[in-house]
Each structure stands twice: as structure tokens, then as C-alpha cells.
């Protein structure tokens, strides 16, 4: 295997706003909590992100898929 040409290190773990955080079910919580966070507020406010993905919480693809989910919700509203 050839040696890497360069590397990339993110600062996600030291970001003062996240400190490398991702979602997890709290003690006493349930997977339903992710669904609750994903519920829109009326027809104006929609939530996406890995914390709204019951099946893929804490992952990039959970965030991506939740964005697609919300885009579909909005699409239904505007026809």
C-alpha cells in the first residue's frame, strides 16, 4: 500500500460549540425521543440532523437522510 500523500484532521472534537458531541439516548429515554425531535412545528419549522434519526443517530448518513426526509416533507407542502 502506498504511503498517503497528505492527511486532513478536523477540529470537530475541539469546537467550543459542540466539543465533538453527537446524540445518544439518555438514561430513562427511548428511541422515540429521536422521532419527537424530528416532528415539525406546524408547516413552517422543520428539523433535520443526526439527532432526529432514530435508526442512524450519531452518524453522518443519519444527518444526510434526515435532510432528505425534511426536504420531502417540504416538497409535499409546496406541491
Residue 39's alpha-carbon distances to 11, 18, 27, 73, in angstroms, are 31, 23, 22, 11
Q: What cell does 28 get? A: 430513562
Which among 21, 27, 10 has a CA at the least distance from the CA of 57?
21
Query: Does this model's pTM top 0.85?
Result: no
Which tens digits make up the pLDDT trace of 17-70?
Answer: 877 778 888 899 999 999 999 999 999 999 999 999 999 998 999 999 999 999
In the chain, the domains with their CATH numbers are: 28-78 (1.10.10)
CA neighbours closer than 13 Å in the CB half-sphere of residue 32:
3
Residues 50, 60 contacting (CB under 8 angstroms)? yes
Amino acid at each position: 500500500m502506498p504511503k498517503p500523500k497528505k492527511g486532513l484532521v478536523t477540529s470537530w472534537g475541539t469546537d467550543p460549540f459542540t466539543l465533538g458531541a453527537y446524540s445518544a439516548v439518555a438514561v430513562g429515554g427511548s428511541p422515540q425521543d429521536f422521532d419527537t425531535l424530528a416532528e415539525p412545528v406546524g408547516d413552517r419549522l422543520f428539523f433535520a440532523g443526526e439527532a432526529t434519526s432514530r435508526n442512524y443517530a450519531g452518524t453522518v448518513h443519519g444527518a444526510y437522510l434526515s435532510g432528505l426526509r425534511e426536504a420531502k416533507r417540504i416538497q409535499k407542502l409546496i406541491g
